[in-house]
Copies of this chain bind each other. A is one copy, B any other.
Amino acid sequence: MPDTHSAPAANRLLAALPRKDRERLMAGCEPVELVFAEVLAEQGGRMRHVYFPTESFISLVAPIDGRASLEVGLIGNEGMLGISLILGVEVSPLLAVVQGGGPAWRMDTETFCHELARSSELQRLLQRYLYVEIGQLAQTAACTRFHLLEARLARWLLMTQDRAHSDEFHVTQEFLAYMLGVRRVGVTKAASSLQNNKLISYCRGNIRIVDRHGLEAASCGCYKANKASYAEMMG
């Protein structure tokens, strides 16, 4: 079991719980190692587990028309996968794919629902988290409609850096194109532009954030807006 697992605060939702609630919840969790591209939930499929990422992170993807798709959410150690269970629905509304491999806590849905019923603190916390997610979903819709690819890419990189807890991570342009709902070539152009401006360095899927401040300036306001909304609601 990796060392990261032993820190209870490795997931911020868990960390935000009162000690008693947290300990009971974590007693029902098991540590798992998520691997890149693993599908944790199909759209419309029944969820068997919820996940609290610690070092890993998960993309929420809205498939459309069979072929295309669009990432509409990103879950790292600030959140959880399976939040719709607090609405009493154990069907996943979206496709959930591991975007960054690594450790996470996992809990089966029955145990989770049981704990949820017992702890009103847990309920309160997760309700607020869901509220934030909803706001971000709407924000993402508008962002995707209005903002230029380069800005959206910059935002995506920042969000990923936050969740990867590192200024280096691996993601191919092909994959990025899939997430952003554009052609691979479009990503090539946008990424080249960022690289020319010395904001990132890119080589065969290995991305390094060189100038975080510059990247924030190049990204759309949605990045900061999202962060602010999380901070406001989750404290």
A-side residues, CB < 8 A to B, are 60, 62-65, 68-70, 72, 84, 86-89, 93-94, 124, 127-128, 130-131, 134-135, 137-146, 181, 221-222, 233
Contacts and interface: CB of A to CB of B under 8 A. Distances in A.
Nearest to A60: B138
A87 B127 contact: yes
B130 A64 contact: no
A124 B70 contact: no
Nearest to A144: B145
A142 B70 contact: yes
Contacts of A84: 131, 134
Contact of A89 (B87, B94, B233): B233
A116 B208 CA distance: 49
A63 to B, nearest CB: 8
Contacts of A63: 142
28 contacts: A62-B139, A62-B142, A63-B142, A64-B142, A64-B146, A65-B221, A68-B142, A70-B146, A72-B142, A86-B127, A87-B127, A87-B130, A88-B128, A89-B131, A93-B135, A94-B135, A94-B138, A134-B134, A134-B137, A137-B137, A137-B138, A137-B141, A141-B141, A141-B144, A142-B181, A144-B145, A145-B145, A146-B181
A134 B93 contact: yes
Which of A124, A135, A143 has the largest number of chain B CB atoms within 10 A?
A135
A72 B137 CA distance: 10
CB-based closest 5 A-B pairs: A141-B141, A87-B127, A64-B142, A62-B138, A93-B135
A181 B147 CA distance: 12
A70 B221 CA distance: 16
Contacts of A141: 62, 70, 72, 137, 140-141, 144
A170 B38 CA distance: 48
Nearest to A136: B93
Contacts of A62: 138-139, 141-142
A198 to B, nearest CB: 26
